[in-house]
Chain A
Amino acid sequence: MSERIPAAGNAGAEPQLPVRSKKKSNLFFKKLVRNKLALAGLVIITLMIVTALFAPLIATHPPEKMDAANALAAPGTNGHLLGTDNYGRDLFSRIVYGTQISIVVGLLSVGFGAVAGTLLGLVAGYYGGKLDGVIMRIMDGLFAFPFILLAITLMTALGNGLTNVIIAIGVASIPGFARLVRGQVLSVKEEEFVEVARSIGSPNVRIIFTNILPNCMAPIIVYGTMSIAGAILSEAALSFLGLGVQPPTPTWGNILKDGKDFLVLSPHMAMFSGLAILLTVVGFNIFGDGLRDSLDPKMKI
């Protein structure tokens, strides 16, 4: 990225990053599409988002409609594609609706963690000194907790519910982003174009957001994509432990939790919900891998 040094310009003119040429972004997309694994990831992610958006059209039954006479039906019986659960609810429809929670939690919690972590990382890296010390010691402290354990602890304090799941996973994601961004800022701020901006008197805030942040975006995007995979896994784990979004709302973790109690009698409950989690997480992970390889294969993430 160091080759993108802006022209010094006249005094008083704003130092601007050169607009990424069309050729360069075309090359990036070409590389991304040529990477077959990344493309597979993109297809999986698109499928998940479409499923989440059009869940009412895709689901064959209302996801919370109980039917005691048809409880624990095997896959394929009475029009139940993947069978039914212990309350006779259609498993396929529940998994389809469960996509909504996974995608919403994945995107919003990582969005929250990315914004907060990036701001902290920018401030710590740019200003340095005591402020850096304080911010990074707190981040080190948060980092000392295993991710899922921090989320669990926050959930016990915040209480159940969708918003709290997003906050808990979001907060647990902050230190990862902060460390990543700080590291980037430390190298970017030594670049000449930052010096130029400073020498013509650009205020710090403008330097941070127009000169430094754009040059930190590539790793943030890659790390963010992979974090979504982690967030979806964590949401499922929280629901599985009974600490996430509460039943009867269908989430993959909730379905798996019910499936655990009927593992011997009806293994399909646990099997299909787990496969949905695995497939989605694989999708985000390979897309993240592909993004990294296309943006900068030497990126250390």
Chain B
Amino acid sequence: MIPTLLVVATIVFIINRIIPGDPAAVMLGPQASVQDVADMRERLGLDKPVFYQYIDYILNLLKGDFGTSIYYKESVLTLILDRFPNTILLSSAALFIAVMIGIPAGMIAATKQNSLLDYVVMLGALIGVSMPVFWLGLMLVLQFSVNLGWFPATGIGSLDNGFGNVFKHLILPAVTLSTIPMATFARITRSSMLEVVSQDYIKTARAKGVREFFVICKHALKNALTPILTVMGMQVSLMLGGSVLTETIFSWPGMGRLIIDAIDKRDFMVVQGAVLFVAVIFVVTNLVIDILYKAVNPRINYASGKEEGSS
């Protein structure tokens, strides 16, 4: 995990320091004087050799210093931590919807394989994984905010007006963000379940008279969970990315919105810090998922690096 994090930080450093011309000039815009640019270069430490800049950058990161925003004049980490809970709220709500609908839909499709219901679920899932979420968001706003007036189109509301207010603001963005993971869960659950239900222990369970509901929900689902968890790890990354677009459409004050605003304002310290933060979250989440694997499938033994036995 540590080497990955170092590589992640290095990639962000390279993208932001070496590829463009002069970050100081870009930040200040075309009207800046030569002196202004020189001052800014000094402030950012850009007058030092690249290698020293890199060492400074890594050392600062270790101290938790993500730099200072040019526009807000605040610590980048403070800005990130202000908005991060909002992104967590949005992503968790979306993940909740995706799991609660996607996994049962996949299970139903698998148990009723090749039925009309199966085809409908799979067609829906196919459209879901292909969905441009930014477009879906706009269409939901058009239908449910503009035409029907059920939900507010933008913002996060305020807890001062009660939790219901925030909840109302949360629905449309969460549904938007949940589409792709929901469809992905439905597909992976279906294929994973189909593989499992043909196994002998399922036949045994049926033969000894376990009710079909328990066969599917207890015996089969538990064994079908490993691929679902793998996909879930990937979806976390996709959702953090998708939140950039969803938050832009719904003016949701989270990390994604912060990044896009910072790009508009040429506040590259914030872009750099926020992107790095998202990558770190992803690496940590996947570590958690690795641990969950072991809880779900005790056969996985990391010490030997192999899966013992076969299912």
Chain A interface (Cβ within 8 Å of chain B)?
137-138, 140-149, 152-154, 156-159, 229, 233, 236-237, 240-241, 243, 256, 259-260, 263-264, 267, 270-271, 273-274, 277-278, 281-282, 285-286, 289
Contact = CB atoms under 8 A, between A and B. Distances in A.
A149 B283 contact: no
Interface in B1-23: 3-4, 7-8, 10-12, 15-16, 19-20
> Which A-B residue pairs are the 5 nearest by beta carbons?
A146-B241, A141-B7, A274-B135, A281-B130, A148-B241
- B-side binding surface: helix, strand, loop or mixed? helix
9 contacts: A145-B278, A146-B240, A146-B278, A149-B244, A158-B19, A237-B134, A263-B138, A281-B132, A289-B126
A260 B141 CA distance: 10
A159 B266 CA distance: 12
B135 A277 contact: yes
A163 B142 CA distance: 34
Contact of B275 (A153, A256, A270, A289): A153
The secondary structure that dominates the A interface is helix
Given A149-B241, A282-B130, 6 more contacts: A141-B10, A146-B242, A148-B245, A152-B259, A154-B19, A157-B19
Contact of B260 (A141, A142, A229, A241): A241
Contacts of A274: 132, 135-136, 138-139
B244 A270 contact: no
A156 B12 CA distance: 12
A278 B179 CA distance: 13
Contacts of A154: 15, 19
A153 B282 contact: no
A251 to B, nearest CB: 13
Contacts of B4: 137, 140-141, 144
Interface of B: 3-4, 7-8, 10-12, 15-16, 19-20, 126-127, 129-132, 134-136, 138-139, 141-142, 146, 237-238, 240-242, 244-245, 248-249, 259-260, 263, 268, 271, 275, 278-280, 282-283
A147 B132 contact: no
Residue among A146, A274, A282 with the highest chain B CB neighbour number at 10 A: A146
B244 A233 contact: no
B94 to A, nearest CB: 14
Nearest to A146: B241
A157 B245 contact: no
B244 A263 contact: no
A137 B3 contact: yes
Contacts of B16: 157
Nearest to B10: A141
A9 to B, nearest CB: 36
A271 B259 contact: no
Contacts of A286: 126
Contacts of B278: 145-146, 149
A143 B279 CA distance: 9
A142 B11 contact: yes
A285 B271 contact: no
Contact of B245 (A138, A229, A240): A240
B130 A285 contact: yes
Contacts of A240: 134, 245
Contact of A278 (B10, B20, B130, B249): B130
Contacts of B11: 138, 141-142, 145
Contact of B15 (A153, A241, A259, A260): A153
Nearest to B249: A260
A289 B275 CA distance: 32
A148 B279 CA distance: 12
A241 B261 CA distance: 10
Nearest to B123: A37
A243 B271 CA distance: 14
Contacts of B134: 236-237, 240, 256
A137 B268 CA distance: 26
A145 B275 CA distance: 8
A213 B240 CA distance: 34
Nearest to B7: A141
A142 B20 CA distance: 19
B8 A144 contact: yes
